[in-house]
Amino acid sequence: METIHGGDVYRNPDCIDFSANINPIGPPEEVKQAIRDSLDKINNYPDIYCESLREKLAVFHNVNKEQIICGNGAADIIFRYVLALKPLKALVADPCFAEYEKSLEYIGTEVKHYKINQTTFCIEDDFLEFLTDDMDIVFLCNPNNPTGKLISHSLLLRIAERCKKKNIKLFMDECFMDFLSDENKKSLIRYVCEQSFIFILRAFTKMYAIPGIRLGYGICSDIELIGKMEKAGPPWNVSIPAQAAGVAALEQRKFVEYTKTYIAQERDYIEKNLERLNITYWKGSANFIFLYDKRNLKELLLENKILIRDCGNFVGLSEGFFRIAVKDRASNKKIIEVLESLN
């Protein structure tokens, strides 16, 4: 069995993990304490409706709690969405997160691919031509994983308008959106209440550094769809500790703002050093950096106890593409020193 994702620290012990894009600051102490406190309640089943968490999320995003579904990580939400809708034909923009296509393949959906420009790695106006009358669903990730690139907001609005006109569902993965300083301007959440064809995916995993807890959620004003998604998988899918962690995390406004500044500074530090070392990379907006190197960089860095993400198994990419997380200064300095020694 071979994992197609980053974060495999179990088979790569004692490595600095640059392969998973997790907040290097770590979980807020208040979140960890909430998890500890919740352990006194684990003799009960979790709240099957995640009422407290959904109420907090509704206030946080200024939506109705009925428009929110919580899940066992973002992947759980993706699979429930696809199982609820059972689309015949879907569009994905490559390269992108593998779970979109995996969920679609699971039910036999015909998947059409838009190949992102491999010079800029930006989705361009020609994407609109792929939004045809026979398309049921479009999956987009903004900022994109693994490139970190944002979709032009004006283009995104045109994509949404065309989807509405063609009766196409628009699934927007915004799991890295909360690292942006101007998140509210770039997100489509503010359009959800009036546009029922838009579904927004978010997760607590990256910003709050709790991938081991598994907590994601979706926002959509199509209440019938939310109901179908709730029935599309097993009940009690969000544990008591996960629900407690989410409620506590939503209170950590200062933590989030500090993280945004911290990540921007450290990303700039890495990018300047990559330029100095003449390593090709693409400027992005998330907490990771997408780069290209002809050498087998993953193996070379692994020899130095550094784990990075080889992106050669992303659809639309070939060998030589890699992704590295933005971490703390000591770790970032270490990877730059190793890259320098390899020149």
- Whose CA is closest to 102, among 72, 50, 139, 135? 139
Cα 188 to chain center, whole Å?
15
Domain with CATH 3.40.640.10 in the chain: 29-249
Contact 283, 291 (CB under 8 A): no
Dihedral sign from CA coordinates of 191, 196, 201, 204? positive
| Strands lying side by side in the sheet with 110-115 | 68-71, 216-219, 198-203, 169-173, 137-141, 89-94, 110-115
The CATH fold assigned to 29-249 is: Aspartate Aminotransferase; domain 2 (3.40.640)
CA–CA gap between residue 187 and residue 213 (Å, rounded):
25
pTM to 2 decimal places:
0.96
- For 189-221, b/e burial (b = at least 16 CB within 10 A) is beebbebbbbbbbbbbbbbbbbbebbbbbbbbb
Q: List the structure tokens of 104.
A: 């679609």
Whose tokens are 């926002």? That residue is 219
pLDDT per position as a tens digit, 164-192: 999 999 999 999 999 999 999 999 999 99
Contact 287, 206 (CB under 8 A): yes
Q: CA separation (Å) from 68 to 71, 76, 147, 169, 308?
A: 10, 14, 28, 17, 34
For the chain, residues with pLDDT lower than 50 are 1
How open is the CA angle 312-314-317, to the nearest 5 degrees?
60
Contact 127, 93 (CB under 8 A): yes
Q: What is the pLDDT of residue 4?
A: 64
Domain with CATH 3.90.1150.10 in the chain: 16-26+253-342
DSSP conformational letter for 208:
T
Q: List the structure tokens of 323.
A: 């992704």
- Whose CA is closest to 198, among 225, 235, 233? 225
Q: What is the pLDDT of residue 14?
A: 87
Long-range contacts of 222-227 (CB under 8 A, 24+ apart): 222/196, 222/197, 223/66, 223/67, 225/81, 225/84, 225/85, 225/196, 225/199, 226/66, 226/67, 226/68, 226/69
What's the CATH code, domain 16-26+253-342?
3.90.1150.10
Half-sphere exposure of 305 (CA within 13 A, CB side): 6
Q: Would you call 48 exposed, middle or buried from its count of C-beta atoms within 10 A (0-12, 13-18, 19+)? A: exposed
Contact 285, 271 (CB under 8 A): no
Q: What is the pLDDT of residue 3?
A: 60
Q: Across-strand partners of 185?
A: none
CA–CA gap between residue 294 and residue 39 (Å, rounded):
49
CA–CA gap between residue 145 and residue 59 (Å, rounded):
28
Q: Is 148 left (phi over 0), alpha (psi -120 to 50) or beta?
A: left
Q: What is the pLDDT of residue 10?
A: 81
Cα 162 to chain center, whole Å?
24
Cis bond before residue 234 (omega within 30° of 0): no
